[in-house]
Structure 1
Amino acid sequence: MIIFGTKGYLYQLAILTLVCGQCGNPAAHTLRKRVTKFTLFFVPLFPVSSKYGTQCTFCGAESQITQQQADALQAQAAGGQGVPGVQGGQGYGQSQPAPNQQGNPFQQGNNTPGNPYQR
């Protein structure tokens, strides 16, 4: 008897602050990759499909995006500025900081006087 099937894996690629297309709030969005792999005797062998999506952490709305859009958003999270190929009308345009958001005190090079996290 041969036992085969599929198994799904969910990878979190990045967390971005974007304006949600559903609720309109500037909130954190998780960029996720869902991979389905073919298994033989419960051993994952090769990927069958890959899908990319984002989820708003404020309202929970999910949306599917293309691989090119996911790559652009991941580059933006790594420090890139523009997001080519991503439509602003879908809520995935320019990343906007949340209101009253301060700089990251853990970020290197933050020489703010009185920073308790600076060595």
Structure 2
Amino acid sequence: MIIFGTRRTVAQLAMVVLTCANCRRTAANAVLKAVTKFTLFFIPLFPVRTRYATQCTACGFHQWIEKGQAEQLRHVPAPWSGPAANGHAAPGQYPGAHG
């Protein structure tokens, strides 16, 4: 008996701020890479399909995009990559923050 099938793995390439096509909110969107691999006896052997998508963090809607679009979005600097990128917010960075 031979057991074969496919397995999909999803990796996050980047987080970018976009306007969602579904909810129309400007929010962080994950740029994702989904790779489907052929498996034999539950061992992934080779990729049979690679797709790219964006997923809205506000509503969860995902949209398939081309590889070129994913590469462009991957190199867009994140809005939080400035001086406060070390995990500490700069004074006044968040609404209602006092500083």
Residue from 63, 84, 91 that aligns with 1:105: 84
Quote how far apart the aligned CAs of 1:104 are: 4.8
Quote how far apart the aligned CAs of 1:42 are. 1.1
Counting aligned pairs with the same residue, the percent is 48
Structure 1 runs not aligned, ≥5 long: 80-96, 114-119
Q: Determine the structure 1 residue equivalent to 2:5.
A: 5
How many residue pairs were aligned? 87
CA RMSD in angstroms, aligned pairs only:
2.2
Residues 70-103 of structure 1 show CA distances to partners (whole Å, capped at 9, x for unaligned) of 01101114x7xxxxxxxxxxxxxxxxx6xxx8x5
Helix, strand or coil at the partner of 1:106 = helix
Secondary structure class of the residue paired with 1:68: helix
Q: Normalising to structure 1: TM-score of the pair?
A: 0.64
In structure 2, the gaps of 5 or more residues are: 92-99
Using structure 2 for the length normalisation, give the TM-score: 0.76
Higher strand share: 2
